Amino acid sequence: MSAPVEAWRGLFVGQRRGLAARLAAALWCATLWAACATPLPPTGGPTDDTPPHIVETIPENGDVNISEASLRIVFSEHVNERSFQQALSIVPEPETPPELDWRGARVDIRLAGPLREDATYVFTIDTALRDLRGVALAAPILLAFSTGPALNAGVLAGRVIQSRDGAPAGGVDVLAYATRGDAPPDSLPARPAYRTQTDPDGAFRFEYMTERRWFVAAVADMNYNARPDPGEPFAPPPVPALLADTARTPFEIPWTLAQPDAAPSDSARAPEAEQETEEETPEPIPLEETGEIRGVVVSGEPYPTVVETWPDTLDMASAEPPYRTLADEDGAFLIARLPAGTYRLRAWIDRNENNRRDPGLLIPYRAPEPIYFLPEPTRVRARWETTLPDTLRIPAVPSTP
């Protein structure tokens, strides 16, 4: 091959190699830019199980005389943007969904239209919020500002428990609706006036509410539509109207979350009563291998008081307490022939005397039958009478027709 041809060949190969190098460098830069532009969970290192928290807000929580229709939130880390949309609720609820503008761990929430005059705006971020690793909030976050000179000061707090065994009902939606005085609403609006959730201990707390009376219901909102639907576990309030005021003491009587098997179509809210399953008769146990529990329960109501107990190992989500008795007119009760072991105990007032606990209704409102759970399990020994050291007291609840 002649020298000129070889020179041209070398020049062509060098150009190709240079072009390939430039393309590789451009591809590397594009990949690096995409990785920087798209938040991804970091890899390697110890597992991060810390939920995101708020570093800064503009305006600050509790500010007054606000005129700008926006709220900036800076989180401690990148969060899942879709989960934020699901977790966010605003009171007063805007007619048009807010515009969300994300910049890394910062989001600007812009409301359409002017703000209402002399109004308290409450932004609730519930436990649906997750970071990029899927770590969720343990309890809701509340932020508020006012377009007037002061914030609403109403507070309303309580606790939700499972009606089966008294365990805390965490992560349950709690919805507040306006009432007419002390009467429950005839129907529920499409959306609640206020919404929050229970923490892992079952506790909930509304703040910055209008100081008036509210109908407060708890719902396991399985379809995330902020309303009670057939088949969803629910808890009517112990009383039909609760006052939101400046007192910080939670309402003493817990909401009891019922687990419905089905819901009648005409109520569109909840079944009329917990469905009673067939009880299996325990196999006979020799008398010398059994013990008994004796105690006193006080209700303050002229209705039968049912006392039930079950082995601590029994799954109460799918079974009824196998041991039951009625307290006498003085409140004394005895549960005999219990196999030796550890037992849980509950007592409830059978107001309608149908021998099953009525969890109540939301619409039309019917109060749940009052219930009490013994906080600690009781040990039963063979050939031994276990006497409860304290009187069981079912909290007094006004009876509502």
Give tens-digit pLDDT for 106-143: 999 999 988 999 999 999 999 999 999 999 998 899 99
**Distances in Å between the alpha carbon of 38 and those of 55, 106, 245, 293?**
21, 14, 45, 63
For the whole model, what pTM was predicted? Answer: 0.79
Q: How confident is the model at residue 398 (pLDDT cuts 50, 70, 90)?
A: low
278 vs 58, residue with greater confidence: 58
pLDDT of residue 289: 87
pLDDT of residue 360: 93
Task: Give φ, ψ of 6 to 5 degrees.
Answer: -65, -35
Q: Is residue 293 part of a domain?
A: yes
pLDDT at 174 over 70: yes
For residues 27 and 199, give the distance between their C-alpha atoms in angstroms, rounded to a whole number: 48
pLDDT at 144 over 80: yes
The structure tokens listed for 398 are 């006004």
pLDDT, tens only, 87-109 = 999 999 998 999 999 999 999 99
Q: How confident is the model at residue 77 (pLDDT cuts 50, 70, 90)?
A: very high
pLDDT at 25 over 60: no
pLDDT of residue 270: 37
pLDDT at 259 over 70: yes
Mean pLDDT of all residues in 306-330: 90
Q: How confident is the model at residue 50 (pLDDT cuts 50, 70, 90)?
A: very high
pLDDT, mean over the chain: 84
Q: Is residue 179 part of a domain?
A: no
Q: Is residue 143 part of a domain?
A: yes
For residues 86 and 82, give the distance between their C-alpha atoms in angstroms, rounded to a whole number: 7
pLDDT of residue 287: 75
Q: Kindly state the percentage of the chain with pLDDT values over 90.
A: 70
Mean pLDDT of all residues in 152-165: 95
Mean pLDDT of all residues in 224-253: 92
Structural domain containing residue 313? 287-393
220 vs 46, residue with greater confidence: 220
pLDDT at 255 over 50: yes
Q: Is residue 357 part of a domain?
A: yes
68 vs 20, residue with greater confidence: 68
Number of independent structural domains in the chain: 2
The residue with tokens 């307290």 is: 327
Q: Is residue 195 part of a domain?
A: no
**Distances in Å between the alpha carbon of 396 and those of 136, 148, 330?**
37, 40, 17
Domain final residue pick, 151, 174, 197: 151
Domain final residue pick, 122, 151, 180: 151
Q: Is residue 360 part of a domain?
A: yes
Q: Is residue 315 part of a domain?
A: yes
Q: Is residue 177 part of a domain?
A: no
127, 195 Cβ separation under 8 angstroms? no
Domain final residue pick, 118, 151, 184: 151
CATH number at residue 89: 2.60.40.3710
CATH number at residue 335: 2.60.40.1120
pLDDT, tens only, 266-306 = 333 433 334 444 545 556 677 778 999 999 999 989 999 99
